[in-house]
Chain A
Amino acid sequence: MTSNLTLIFNKGTKRSQHNFIPEMDIDKVDLLEIIPSFFQREDLPLPDIPEVEIVRHYTELSRRNYGIDSGIYPLGSCTMKYNPKINEVIARLPAFSQIHPLQEENQGALELMHHLSEMLREITGMDGFTFQPAAGAHGELTGILIMKKYFENKNLKKNKILVPDSAHGTNPSSAKMAGFSIIEVRSNDMGEVPLDHIEFAMQQGDVAGIMLTNPNTLGIFDRQIKDITNIIHKYGGLCYYDGANLNPMLGICRPKDMGFDIVHLNLHKTFSTPHGGGGPGSGPVGVTKELISYLPDPSIIATEQGFVCREKTNNSIGRIKCFWGNFGVIIRAYAYILALGAEGLKRVGQISVLNANYLRVFLKEKYHLPYDRICQHEFVLSDRGIENNVTTEDIAKRILDYGLYAPTIYFPLIVKGAMMIEPTETESKASLDNFIDVMNNIYNEAKTNPELLKNAPLNTPVKRLDAVLAARNPILKE
């Protein structure tokens, strides 16, 4: 069996270079005077590889990887929009990238976060933000810990939380990490949360509140959102907004106005910071006035002497990450919001929804659309009715053969064989039309040449990989 691309560790040539080590310009002493030999390692099994070889190796690997700059990346609930190049330049300005988190002369960094916080408050309606959380799920954990602390302070035992079955998988696992047990709420036929279930659950007295994303993972805006949050509040509960799907709401509708108390945002989704192949992200959390004192330490406040950091507040859940958060990501989101401004952000909301509905209407001609109504940023198709036992996975793999990326598949769990499609606002009509053509071709291929789909992909660097084998016999390193 041959590996189709050599690992970097096998690339070493005989000649090692030391291009990255400054000349030693002080007098050395015997190392043993500094550190005893039994503290030292015996060998270091890393290769010495010349720079040219490394650059060629990773340039080749980058070619074997699809990104937004390659084309449409319709991964539902991930908001794969274009990453503006200027943001990469700005984040690398030396007075941003080279500053230490504990240095005193940091007014530019604090002002940036303070101003971004003000703008996010306007966008969401919330009253205060923390930037500590490093990603969406980390923001969820932060938000849910705020709920926990809030009820602890009130001496109320509320150890359960409502999570609809249409929620992201991170919601229940974040709630569990904060010690809550989960009550799953089943969506109704319209993909919305049934009010009577919520009311019944809240009547039990041990439910802290609800975690919701709106529009949900079906791309549906819950028309009764205000009733839902009202019921939760009537019983003294709190409402948590998963901001993963905020993109279509920009300039259109705000979580606070829907009745939410806590919200996390994904700067790497809504505000264009690169997904980086899976991170780094940033998951700021916003809260209402009543909950500001619960935000993680430390917080930034504006004073007449400038921006200062308040180290500890009594109600705070404590620290959730070292230092200030993923500042490098925060800079990019700040630049994006300044670049787009009020009109630009509203346009993002509108066009992301237009693009999704355009795909929805043309794709439902052939594909089954289980929730057949207007959508927001995304919608979910299924493989029902596809002939010759062709599955969602087969379709997804065949999309790769056409040089595009596949939607999120088998999620949300409430749709069997789900294909969750989110085009975002940064696709042209031609790109959307091409995606529709590809999907229609695949639909026809399923009828006439199902083997083509079952063997897909064929035009990628490797053919379909064996996931079962990988899990049964994990090989995780060389």
Chain B
Amino acid sequence: MDFILHDKETITEMLTSIGINSLEELFQDIPADLLLKKLNLPHGLSEPDLLRRLEELSRKNKIYSSSFLGAGCYYHYIPSLVDFVINLSGFYTAYTPYQAEASQGYLQAIYEYQTAITRLTQMDVANASMYDGSTALAEAAIMATVAAKKKKIILLEGIHPEYVEVVKTYCWGQDIHFEVVMEDALISKLDESVAAVLFQSPNFFGGIENITELVQKIRDKAPKCLIIQVMTDPTCLGVLKPPGKSDIDIFVAEGQSFGISPSFGGPGLGIFASKQKYLRKMPGRLIGKTNEINGEREGFILTLQTREQHIRREKATSNICTNQALCALASLIYLVSLGKTGLQEIALQNFQKSHYVKQKLATIPGYQILNKKPTYNEFLVKCPNVHELIEQCKQENLLPPLMISKYFPDMKDIILVCVTESNSREDIEKFIHAAEKASNKNIGGN
């Protein structure tokens, strides 16, 4: 199938009217030896055949009845109206709103998104989105080095390992010195040369930092150093103190939890917010409110574009052009659908349910909870028999927790468990049961 509207006669008519003899002649500028003889691809498919083929392929992936896996990608219930809204033609078939007057709908929606993010985070300004949490963090690091005019950053242990790798790649590109330090070594590493400290909270292992204390320690030692916080599941902000109330300079997050399906890890949403004083150093698009030139009405428009690549080229704050607009829209719809009450309740359920599982696991012989800090919906557990637990979960049709050795090969027999509001009591009981069976088997085996 294709989506071309001309029949043969129309093509001939159009060619004739512009004085061209054949479709081939349109490519007269291309040297003959560069013209492709044949494209070796299969014939096209009709819609039903295509759908059947892709359905078959999708069945080679497994979907589970419930998930205990998080680690940067989370299962939360998505209200039906989220997908309904992002599927409206006026939104999903548009592009970057260069012509503001014909794009007021999207511009207003993204202005509302910026507003929702600043209210949620209590940061001064939020941009229109970045690709994902990991690239948002890398861009935040670069922005901090520009703002501080220093080429060194420090990452606190506990940032998602894939985010660390992305930051490392970006830093290498710009010759930014990069170091990952343990929490107790942080202060001794801080000096005048450090542009920024990056930390994740709740961190990769689930622990929630005492941010007030951490920020104070950094400010005392290096007052000019920027502090960047990242999080991978911002639903916790329904309960937790927002970064804007903890004197954070730049806040970034993966916004997938806000109404975006896991989809094998992408597309997600890079949430990016900062203090007002860094506004002109910010990467990405910004939507502003303005007035008609010759009128009374207010409207919305892309603004502060002199930071951007299409105007400033190599002097731009970032190379980002296409961002994740539709995902930003999805997250806006999610946030307004849940509202204050809903978001608080979701965060509470995540706290309560994961706490419940934590307590239960701790009572089973061989299991040990490793977190010393408070946790949100993820926590670290040492297991008597990791592989048996994974197997038991799969038998119960549960997506098993992460074996942390994937990222930290030395940390054997340790899992990262994620429990959200999407896990029903029944799912939770199945998981506990799987853990018990794995424990029994291990003891029996010994």
A63 within 8 A of B: yes
Given contacts A34-B355, A345-B39, A465-B293, contact A318 B321 (CB under 8 A): no
| B292 at the binding interface (Cβ < 8 Å) | yes
Contact A64 B105 (CB under 8 A): yes
Of the candidates B11, B108, B131, B239, the one whose C-beta lies within 8 Å of that of A135 is: B131
Bound-state Cα–Cα, A54 to B291, Å = 25
A196 at interface by CB-CB < 8 Å: no
> Do A322 and B341 have beta carbons less than 8 Å apart?
no
Task: Check A48/B340 contact, CB under 8 A, given A21-B345, A277-B94.
Answer: yes
Cβ-neighbour of A276 out of B291, B326, B343 (below 8 A): B326
Q: Is the CB–CB distance between A141 and B173 below 8 Å?
A: yes
**Interface 9-residue window, one of A197-205, A252-260, A438-446:** A252-260
* CB pair A21 B39 closer than 8 Å: no
Residues on A with C-beta less than 8 A from B443 are none
Q: Which of B111, B131, B240, B311 has the most CB of A within 10 A?
A: B131
Digit string of A428-466 for contact with B (CB within 8 Å is 1, else 0)? 110000000000000000000000000101001111111
Q: Is the CB of A279 within 8 A of B326?
A: yes
- The minimal Cβ–Cβ distance linking A458 to chain B, given in whole angstroms, is 10
B286 close to A108 (CB less than 8 A): no
Selected contact of B23 from candidates A46, A55, A141, A350, CB within 8 Å: A350
- Tell which of A221-229, A230-238, A285-293, A384-392 binds the partner: A221-229
Task: List residues 80-133 of chain B with CB under 8 A from any CB of chain A.
Answer: 81, 83-106, 108-112, 114-116, 118-120, 125-126, 128-129, 131-133
User: C-beta contact mask, A247-284 vs B, less than 8 Å → 1, else 0?
Assistant: 00011111001100000001010001011111111000
Instruction: Give the shortest distance, in Å, between A420 (CB) and chain B (any CB).
Output: 11
Q: Which residues of B contact A9 (CB under 8 A)?
A: 112, 115-116
Q: B45 in the interface, Cβ–Cβ < 8 Å?
A: yes
B192 to chain A, nearest CB (A): 24
In the complex formed, the residue of A with least CB distance to B260 is A328
Interface hit among B28-36, B183-191, B216-224, B433-441: B28-36
A343 within 8 A of B: yes
Within residues 464 to 478 of chain A, which ones have a CB less than 8 A from any CB in chain B? Answer: 464-467, 469-471, 474-478
Residues of B within 8 A of A277 (CB): 91-92, 94-97, 106, 110, 325-326, 329
A322 touches B298 (CB 8 A): no
A102 x B319 contact (CB < 8 A):
no
Task: Output the least CB separation between B119 and chain A (Å).
Answer: 5
A215–B378 alpha-carbon span in the complex (Å): 50
Q: Which of chain B's residues have a CB closer than 8 A to the CB of A279? A: 129, 131, 267, 322-327
Nearest B-chain residue to A66, judged by Cβ: B102
* Contact of A122 with B50 in the complex, beta carbons under 8 Å: no
A335 close to B54 (CB less than 8 A): yes
Taking the complex as formed, is A162 at the interface, i.e. its CB lies under 8 A from any CB of chain B? no
* Minimum CB–CB distance for A205 against chain B, Å: 21
B299 cross-chain contacts in A, Cβ below 8 A:
4, 461-462, 465
Q: Does B363 contact A (CB under 8 A)?
A: no
Query: Hey, which chain B residues are within 8 Å of A474, CB to CB?
Result: 279, 286, 288, 303-304
Assess the B318–A466 pair: CB atoms within 8 A.
no
- The contact of B208 among A39, A254, A346, A478, by CB within 8 Å, is A39
Contact B261 A26 (CB under 8 A): no
A119 within 8 A of B: yes
Which of A22, A98, A101, A340 is within 8 Å of B63, CB to CB? A98
Q: How far is the CB of B314 from chain A (nearest CB, A)?
A: 4
A221-B29, A470-B290, A474-B288 known; A38 and B212 CB under 8 Å? yes
* Alpha-carbon distance between A44 and B348 when the two chains are bound, in angstroms: 14
Given contacts A45-B119, A173-B312, A182-B314, contact A135 B322 (CB under 8 A): yes
Is the beta-carbon distance between A324 and B265 smaller than 8 angstroms?
yes
Say whether B324 contacts A177, CB under 8 Å: no
Q: Give chain A residues whose Cβ lies under 8 Å from the Cβ of B408.
A: none
Q: What is the distance, in angstroms, from B284's C-beta to the closest C-beta of chain A?
A: 10
Q: Across the interface, which residues of A come within 8 angstroms of B337, CB to CB?
A: 19-20, 49, 51, 54
* Shortest Cβ gap from B57 to chain A (Å): 5
A75 within 8 A of B: yes
Q: A29-B352, A44-B344 are in contact. Are A94 and B26 (CB under 8 A)?
A: no
Q: Are A66 and B4 in contact (CB under 8 A)?
A: no
- Tell whether B374 is near chain A: CB-to-CB under 8 Å: yes
Closest chain-B Cβ to A79's Cβ sits at a distance in Å of 10
Q: Is the CB of B4 within 8 A of A347?
A: yes
A408 adjacent to chain B (CB < 8 Å) = yes
Residues on the A chain within 8 Å of B174, using CB: 177-179
A308 interface residue, CB < 8 Å from B? no
Within 8 Å by CB of A337, from B41, B168, B345, lies B41
Give the distance in Å from the alpha carbon of A477 to the alpha carbon of B131 in the complex: 21
Contact with B along A28-62 (1 / 0, CB 8 A): 11010111101111001111110100110011111
Q: Are A122 and B10 in contact (CB under 8 A)?
A: no
Identify which of B61, B163, B425 contacts A25 (C-beta below 8 A). B425
Q: Is A295 an interface residue (CB 8 A)?
A: no
A58-B88, A326-B266 known; A100 vs B69 contact (CB < 8 Å)? yes
Assuming the contacts A35-B208, A108-B61, asked whether A427 and B5 have C-beta atoms less than 8 A apart, the reply is yes
Do A75 and B61 form a contact, CB below 8 Å, given A16-B341, A320-B169, A322-B265? Answer: no
**Most chain B CB atoms below 10 A, which of A63, A80, A278, A297:** A278
Give the complex CA separation of A353 and B22 in angstroms: 12
B-side interface residues, number (CB < 8 Å): 203
Q: Of all chain A residues, which has the CB nearest B303?
A: A470
Minimal Cβ-Cβ distance residue in A for B402:
A102
The answer, yes or no, to whether A83 is at the interface (CB within 8 Å) is yes
Are A325 and B340 also in contact (CB < 8 A) when A4-B299, A465-B100 are? Answer: no
List B contacts of A396 (CB < 8 A). Answer: 99
How many angstroms from the CA of A335 to the CA of B50 in the assembled complex?
7
Which A-chain residue is minimally distant from B210 (CB atoms)?
Answer: A39
What is the CA–CA distance of A405 and B133 in the complex, to the nearest angstrom?
A: 33
User: Is the CB of A129 closer than 8 A to any CB of chain B?
Assistant: no
Q: Check if A70 is an interface residue, CB within 8 A of chain B.
A: yes
Measured CA separation A402–B112 after assembly (Å): 28
Question: In the bound complex, how far is the Cα of B88 from the Cα of A21, in angstroms?
Answer: 25
Closest to A328 in B: B263
Please measure, in the bound complex, the distance between the C-alpha atom of A279 and the C-alpha atom of B241, giving whole angstroms.
Answer: 30
Given that A1-B291, A327-B264, A344-B2 are known contacts, is A108 also in contact with B306, CB under 8 Å in the complex?
no
Rounded to whole angstroms, the CA-CA distance of A7 and B13 in the bound complex is 50
Cα of A254 to Cα of B160 in the assembled complex, Å: 39
Q: Determine whether A99 belongs to the interface, using a CB cutoff of 8 Å to chain B.
A: yes
Q: Which residues of A contact B365 (CB under 8 A)?
A: none
| Chain B residue contacts of A278, Cβ below 8 A | 95-97, 106, 128, 285, 322-323, 325-326
B135 sits at the interface (CB 8 A): yes
Cβ of A212 under 8 Å from chain B: no
B242 within 8 A of A: yes
Q: Which of A60-106 contact B (CB under 8 A)?
A: 60-70, 73, 75, 78, 80-84, 86, 88-103, 105-106
| A252-B30 in contact (CB<8A) | yes
Report Cα–Cα, A428/B34, bound state, in Å.
30
Q: Does A319 sit at the interface, judged by CB under 8 A? A: yes
Is the Cβ of A136 less than 8 Å from the Cβ of B322?
A: yes
**Complex interface: chain B residues within 8 A of A31 (CB):** 239, 348, 351-352
Asked if B384 CB lies within 8 Å of chain A CBs, one says: no
Q: Is B294 an interface residue (CB 8 A)?
A: yes
Contacts of A321 in B (CB 8 A): 131-132, 134-135, 166, 266
Q: Are A280 and B327 in contact (CB under 8 A)?
A: yes
**Other CB < 8 Å A-B pairs besides A252-B35, A464-B293, A477-B125, 14 of them?**
A25-B424, A47-B339, A58-B85, A101-B264, A140-B319, A169-B308, A170-B319, A277-B106, A297-B165, A339-B47, A342-B40, A344-B1, A351-B6, A466-B292
> Top 3 nearest A-B pairs by Cβ distance?
A101-B265, A323-B265, A341-B44
Q: List 22 A-B contacts (CB under 8 A).
A: A24-B349, A54-B85, A54-B336, A62-B88, A65-B91, A70-B93, A95-B62, A96-B263, A145-B169, A276-B324, A278-B95, A280-B323, A320-B135, A321-B166, A324-B264, A324-B265, A340-B44, A350-B26, A357-B18, A376-B26, A400-B99, A476-B111
